[in-house]
Structure formats: C-alpha cells, structure tokens
Amino acid sequence: MGPLAGVRVVEFAGLGPGPFCGMLLADLGADVVRIDRRGARGGLLGSLGATSLLDRGKRSIALDLKDPADVDVVRALVRRADVLLEGFRPGVMERLGLGPDELLGENPALVYGRMTGWGQTGPLAHSAGHDIGYIALTGVLGASGRPDERPAPPLNLLGDFGGGGVFLALGALAALIRARATGEGQVVDAAIVDGTAVLTTMIHGMLGAGAWTDERGRNLLDTGAPFYDVYRCADGQFLAVGALEEQFYAALLEGLGLSGDESLPDRNDPRQWPALRERFTDAFAARTRAEWWQVFEGTDACVAPVWSLLEATEDRHNTERGVFVEVDGVRQPAVAPRFSVTPGAVGSVPAPGQHDEEILAELGLR
C-alpha cells in the first residue's frame, strides 16, 4: 500500500524531526525499520510520558550499538536499504563505524539522511539545541507575536517538523529518485536552520521589496493588519480572521453588519489599522464563538473558529473529510497528502524490539 511500497528505510530512533520524517515515509508505504536501543523503555520518547505516534507504521528492532555483533546487524540492514535516517550529532555515526564513507562503500546507492538542528558544518554544528533555538537563529521566532509582547514560539512545529522532518523527507526522496536512475547514493544534510530559513523565503522577498518591516506584529500577515488577526468573542473564545482580498473583506463586513458604514476606518491605510481593529474588537465581542460561526461558516469572509486540539478532531469539516482517524484507540491525524491510486495508511506503533525475530530472519541471521 502507498506510493512508497517497496522502499526500505532504516531509521535510528531519536526525538522529533527524524522520527517524523520516518513517519511520513511509513505513512506512504515505505518499510521503515526503527533501530531502538536495547533495554529502552517505551522508545526514546518514553521520557515524554507517552508512546510516540511518530513511530506509527514502523517495525522495531532493539540493538546495542556498542556490541560489534549488533553493529553487524545494522550493516546487514543497511546493505539492503534504500534510505538511512539518523539524527545524532556530527561525528557520532562515524565513531560507531557507521558513517557515510563506510556504509556507502557497502551500498553505493544508499541515501544517507542526516537530521540535525545546526547542520553538519558551522560553528554551532556540535552544540546542543532545540526547536526554539533554531527558529530564534533564523529570525522566525523574532517575527512571531505581537509588538508589545515576547515572541511566541508556535509549539515545535515550524522548526522540528516544518523546517526539519519535512525537508529531510523531501531530500531523501529527491536523492532516492536520482539513486534509482544512476545507482549513485549520497548524503542528505538536513539542518533545521536551513529548512526553517527556506520557509521564510516569501517574507524575505517582501522585506526586500519594502512590503514588510523588520518588526513583528506590524505587517500584513503577523497580526499587524486588523483584517488578519484573532478576536475574542463574548464567551472568551476566539475567531481567526484572514480577509485579505477585497471581496473577502466585503464578506467580512457583511457578516459583521458593517457593510456601507462610512465611518469605518480605511483598511488600505496602515495608520488607521488601530482604529479599525477597535471596531472589529467591539463587534466580535458582542456574540459567542458559536454564534459567529453560524454567521460565517461556508462564506468567503475567511473567518474560522479557533479550536483547541481536541475540538479540532470534532469539527464538521475535519470529520467529513477524515482529517483525523482513530487507530488502536488513539485519535490522530490521517495520512497526508492523499493519492488517488496508491493511498497511504496509518499503522500501529511498535514496541521497542517487537520485530527482532522477524527482521533477523529476513536478514538470514536466524
């Protein structure tokens, strides 16, 4: 099942973006074998208090990478693999004898995917880090939030997953296409700082054109514009407004009962944005979120309720489209994107070492 059926991936267990990349590939049909540390409880994410859904659809073998016999098992796995994914600091895999030179020497068509925060090179390459630091260094955190408040990190979605795991998956698949055409593998150096910076390409273009100021909360898409912002309703809940285009703005005013109000400040004059925001704030505060959603649902006003994570799983659109599914009693996001001929599927989360015997038998070691 899935467009990646037949693709073999070896993933070294880790945190966040690397496993997310492996999940994306497994969702789309790749056979992803996760190498867990022997004796680990609940996988490496067990310390976070829950089995990680990032490991769904994978198989697990538990090995001790300090044991030469287990390192030989890794080599056997890699010799028949298309893609390897690892997220250690630079130099760790080389010290284990599992660096790119060694493994590409045994499997010349191997795609060797490396996931780090800072990259394989640069003054911070060997430093510890987390999402919040990566998005800080690339300017994304500094651009997020309102002008009179501290920058607000958007969970760990932009760095770890958007700038990290997705770009590693993209790089691995691009390299795999070339490897299958030429027989030549290569190293994919996926750094979160690199990917996160790429996500800001449009903003840098606007900045260079003078259409964006280097101050957060003052621009068209960062809550600076009153018609692209979040408003509190009468019940304390929130609505998101994104009425950028003129026709959508007109639909917003109609829903708010402000159409034809000549006293309304000019939306095309940033100097009048504060006054316009006050009008919108007062208007939205007059009704509850549910009442406003009855007004705007299905219109072109580009207004949406701000759901909590759990509320989002019960939203009518998300439910009818199947944005979330339940697997093994756990509600979770479905596979994306969708394919008309070879759809992907959400698999179960394996326990560490669950497939030891099965995988060793496939390698002829049992």
Range 99-106, long-range pairs (CB < 8 A, 24+ positions) = 100/187, 103/75, 103/78, 104/185, 104/186, 104/187, 106/75, 106/78, 106/79
Peptide bond into 337 cis (omega under 30): yes
Distance CA 138, CA 132 (A): 10
Whether residue 63 lies inside any domain: the answer is yes
Q: How long, in residues, is the chain?
A: 366
CATH number at residue 187: 3.40.50.10540
**Structural domain contains residue 96:** yes
Is residue 51 located within the same domain as residue 169? yes
Pick from 289, 308, 327: which residue ends a domain? 308
Residue 51: its pLDDT value, please? 59
pLDDT at residue 1 in the model? 84
pTM metric for this prediction? 0.94
Examine the domain organization and report whether 27 and 118 are in the same domain: yes
Contact between residue 225 and residue 277 where contact means Cβ atoms under 8 Å apart: no
CATH number, position 297: 3.30.1540.10
Write down the pLDDT at residue 47.
47
Answer whether residue 354 is part of any domain: yes
My answer on whether 77 and 170 are in the same domain is: yes
Q: Tens of pLDDT along 141-190?
A: 999 999 989 999 999 999 999 999 999 999 999 999 999 999 999 999 99
Backbone angles phi, psi at 298, to 5 degrees: 85, -5
Q: What is the pLDDT of residue 49?
A: 37
- B/e letters for 197-210, b = 16+ CB within 10 Å, e = fewer, are bebbeebeebbeee
The predicted-structure confidence for 205-235, as pLDDT tens digits, reads as follows 999 999 999 999 999 999 999 999 999 999 9
How many beta carbons lie within 10 A of that of residue 333, not counting itself? 14
Q: How far is CA 288 from the centre of its chain?
A: 32
Bond prior to 153 in cis (omega within 30° of 0):
no
Range 191-204 average pLDDT:
98
Same domain, 304 and 352: no
pLDDT at residue number 161: 97
**Angle CA(50)–CA(161)–CA(302) in degrees, nearest 5?**
105
Residue 329 inside a domain? The answer is no
Encode pLDDT of 237-273 as tens digits: 999 999 999 999 999 999 999 999 999 999 999 999 9
Q: Is residue 327 part of a domain?
A: no
What's at 157, amino acid-wise?
L
Beta-sheet strand order (sheet of 228-232): 228-232, 238-242, 303-305
Q: Are residues 175 and 114 part of one domain?
A: yes
Distance, in Å, from the CA atom of 288 to the CA atom of 79, rounded to the nearest integer, reads 60
In a domain, 103, yes or no: yes
Active-site residue, 130 included? yes
Residue 213 lies in a domain: no
Number of neighbouring beta carbons within 10 Å of residue 249:
17
Same domain, 98 and 174: yes
Q: Where are the alpha helices (DSSP H) in 183-218?
A: 192-199, 201-208
Tell me what pLDDT residue 39 has.
76
Alpha-helical segments (H) within the chain: 17-27, 68-79, 92-95, 100-106, 131-137, 166-182, 192-199, 201-208, 246-256, 273-284, 289-296, 309-312, 316-321, 356-362
Condensed to tens digits (0 to 9), the pLDDT of residues 123-143 reads 999 999 999 999 999 999 999
* Catalytic residue of the set 31, 55, 160, 194: 160
**Does one domain contain both 35 and 176?**
yes
| CA 47 to chain CA mean position, Å | 21
Asked if residue 103 lies in contact with residue 75, where contact means CB atoms within 8 angstroms, the answer is yes
Residues spanned by the domain of 258: 228-308
Question: Are residues 302 and 342 both part of a single domain?
Answer: no
Query: What percent of the chain has pLDDT above 90?
Result: 95
Per-residue pLDDT tens digits for 266-311: 999 999 999 999 999 999 999 999 999 999 999 999 999 999 999 9
d(CA 311, CA 322): 14
Please choose, from the candidates 100, 106, 18, the residue with its C-alpha nearest in 3D space to the C-alpha of residue 58.
Answer: 18
- Do 45 and 123 lie in one domain? The reply is yes
- pLDDT for 43-96, tens place per residue? 444 445 345 899 999 999 999 999 999 999 999 999 999 999 999 999 999 999
Q: Do 154 and 81 fall into the same domain?
A: yes
Q: How many domains does the chain have?
A: 2
The CA-to-CA distance between both ends of the chain, in Å, stands at 27
Extract the runs of DSSP E, i.e. beta strands, from 124-227. Answer: 186-191
Domain assignment present for residue 328? The answer is no
Interaxial angle between packed helices 246-256 and 273-284, expressed in degrees from 0 to 180 and rounded to the nearest 10: 40
Q: What is the DSSP letter of 28?
A: T
If asked whether residues 170 and 38 sit together in one domain, one would say yes
Q: What is the pLDDT of residue 41?
A: 55
Q: Tell me, yes or no, whether 148 and 43 share the same domain.
A: yes
Tens of pLDDT, residues 2-57: 999 999 999 999 999 999 999 999 999 999 999 999 876 554 444 453 458 999 99
Token pair of 48 as six digits: 């976070």
Nearest to 54 by CA among 172, 160, 194: 160
Query: What pLDDT digit, counting tens, does each position of 92-118 carry?
Result: 999 999 999 999 999 999 999 999 999
Place of tokens 């067990």: 46
